[in-house]
Structure 1
Amino acid sequence: MAQLNSSVVPSNISSPGRPPPDSWDSWVSTGLIPAVVLSFCFLLGVPGNMAVIALRPNWQHLSGLSQTLMVNLAVSDLLCLLPLPLWIYTLLYDWTLGLVTCKLLAYLVYVSLYGSLLTVTALSVQRYLRVVQLQKWFDREGRKRMLVLLWLIAMILSIPSLVLRQLTSDQRRTTCQPHFSSPAQRMAVLLSESLLGFVSITLVVFSYINLHRKVNQGAFFNNPHTTRLLTSIIVTFFVLWMPYHITNMLGVAAISLKKDGLLMFCMESWRIVGALVFVNSFLNPLLYAFSSRNTCTVCHKRNTATVVDAEAHIS
């Protein structure tokens, strides 16, 4: 995310003097395909997240913390998707909104993406602890403090986009993209961003795999709908985020080894894998909000079984 350029998808290096693609194949690989993907995300993701915020489907049996996190997830995804028409236009044409708008819009996208990533991670861990340990972790004030801390972390992590974002003009276009003072600075940004990504992916996968094991320890908890839901969450999160972070690592390798060919490959790949990150923002309502009943059922069954076991033990 920290390498978002004028297309709102990552670019590793500033490239003044590099003309826009002239051939149809280059145009498709660098502009048209990401624009189509981002348009699709906007058209489906904005109404989906707004519906989650307004309707809160199947939430009557969720814990207060789960509801708070899912509302926060929908808000962060909505903030991420709303500026997409502007980014799509500037991806295909030119940046005409000035440096201040360039910095602020990029910062908003980063904050919302980080907020979404941190919320998904927190929601995954919370669901695991809720089913396994059967206890509430935060009261209302605790939930508020948690959200403040989450957004504060997202804002701090997004500072590089605010500092590094600059307008770059070449012979035919003006773009809004990061400008690095040295290769070491560029590598530091890539590494710090990918470290958070790998930690988040690890926590999500760990939480849902262990949740699946706990749910299926006995036939009473074996629910194929829940299995499909947990599998879809893990696979979707992994597929949409991991290519971006792998490309980041390839970019670090290209910079450190001074492999210009690999670096150019990463620059072109970032546009596609970066666009995939936004797909996650429109899929989140389907995976988390509208499918939450299955998790509620698991919690209810596990609570019921615990009470039955306790009564049997007492008797």
Structure 2
Amino acid sequence: MEPSDYTVDVSNISSSPPRLAWVSTGLVPAVLLSFCFLLGVSGNIAVIILRPNWQHLSSQSQSLMLNLAVSDLFCLLPLPLWIYAYLYSWTFGLVACKLLTYLIYCCIYGSMLTVTVISIQRYLLMVHLQQRCFQLVGMKRLLVLLWLAAVILSIPVLVVRRLSTDENPTQCWDHFSSKAQHLAKLLAETIVGISSFSVIALAYLCLHRRINQAALFNNPRTTKLITSIIVTYVVLWTPYVIVNVLAVAAVALGHEGLRTFYMDTWRITGAVTFVNSCINPLLYAFASQNVCCVCHKTKHLLQKLRFPQIPSRSADITTDTDHQ
């Protein structure tokens, strides 16, 4: 391929290929992003202000919840500009193109890494290792490292993001100077996505298994909540990961059929991933209200049966675990 063939990075969820008409493919992601903006912004603001049922969570869990809501909120706030660009053109200049894309990438990575840490924390709570781990790392230091990783992972966007000055309408997308540069960015995003996905799925599956091993904690509501977290993440991110893998294969092999397919599908699959930022407050915050009564009943049952080996701290840990 010539370098001009690398002007569009289909794995990028916020760019827009010029050859797709907004009537056939731009309207669908624009409507979906509008829904994400309206529901997600209000939902995450409500979580930040109200913090529903967070009194049952530990201080570490509250910090992670708040960090997740903030990252999702700032990920959704620039969406109106991208909706306008999908339907018309990018009229906000090169600086805004680079900085807003960089902000979205930072927030997406921040949200993804926060969900990954939450899944690990849930499992550590169940095996009673959380206190030791957070004493070694520290929550503030962990959040700083998390956002530092998000900032570093998003740097390539500042390098490759350009304006399509030779096309009408003008759009904000990636321009690659070589095939190696294109592959490097695609592989980095794919590896990070698959790694995060694998850790989250493994942590919650292990947590679900340990809960089911204890008869007192094997209740339908807890099982349903944990299952919904896994299924939601799988459903919303699997299409994007698949398209990324196809993009890597298409660029590496120079396969025009794969290239055409992922160029025609990446905008919709990318827009779907923003739905995760809308559902996160429902899964990780508001859904806890439905589990509270189960947690209280479990704690009351333990006290009624008079288990001497279960102190109050363990009950609190169990309550925190069941909330997620």
TM-score normalised over the length of structure 1: 0.87
What's the counterpart of residue 308 of structure 1?
307
Unaligned runs of 5+ in 1: none
> Structure 2 counterpart of 1:68, which letter?
S
Give the 3-state SS of the residue equivalent to 1:177 in structure 2: strand
What's the counterpart of residue 250 of structure 1?
246
Give the 3-state SS of the residue equivalent to 1:245 in structure 2: helix
> Structure 1 counterpart of 2:34, which letter?
S
Selected match of 1:147 from 143, 148, 167: 143
The alignment's C-alpha RMSD in Å is 2.7
What's the counterpart of residue 203 of structure 2?
207
> Structure 1 counterpart of 2:269, which letter?
V
> Structure 2 counterpart of 1:183, which letter?
K
Give the 3-state SS of the residue equivalent to 2:162 in structure 1: strand
Give, in angstroms, the shift of residue 267 of structure 1: 1.1
Selected match of 2:177 from 181, 187, 193: 181
Distance, in Å, in 2 between the alignment partners of 1:205 and 1:309 is 34
Q: Would you say the 8 A contact 1:65–1:143 is kept in 2? A: yes
Distance, in Å, in 2 between the alignment partners of 1:176 and 1:91 is 10
Identity rate, percent: 57
> Structure 1 counterpart of 2:186, which letter?
L
Distance, in Å, in 1 between the alignment partners of 2:120 and 2:46 is 25
Give, in angstroms, the shift of residue 52 of structure 1: 0.4
What's the counterpart of residue 281 of structure 2?
285
1:105-144 residue pairs with structure 2 within 5 A?
105-133=100-128, 135-136=130-131, 137-138=133-134, 142-144=138-140
Give the 3-state SS of the residue equivalent to 1:310 in structure 2: coil
Distance, in Å, in 1 between the alignment partners of 2:48 and 2:135 is 21
Shift in alpha-carbon separation, 1:126–1:141, aligned structure 2, 3 A: closer
Give, in angstroms, the shift of residue 139 of structure 1: 5.6
- Which is worse superposed, 152-161 or 286-295? 286-295
Shift in alpha-carbon separation, 1:4–1:187, aligned structure 2, 3 A: closer
Shift in alpha-carbon separation, 1:134–1:224, aligned structure 2, 3 A: farther
Q: Would you say the 8 A contact 1:254–1:260 is kept in 2? A: yes
Shift in alpha-carbon separation, 1:121–1:311, aligned structure 2, 3 A: closer
> Structure 2 counterpart of 1:142, which letter?
G
What's the counterpart of residue 38 of structure 1?
33
Q: Would you say the 8 A contact 1:4–1:178 is kept in 2? A: no
Give the 3-state SS of the residue equivalent to 1:27 in structure 2: helix
TM-score normalised over the length of structure 2: 0.85
Give the 3-state SS of the residue equivalent to 2:274 in structure 1: helix
Selected match of 1:238 from 234, 237, 243: 234
Unaligned runs of 5+ in 2: 1-8, 312-324
Give, in angstroms, the shift of residue 219 of structure 1: 2.1
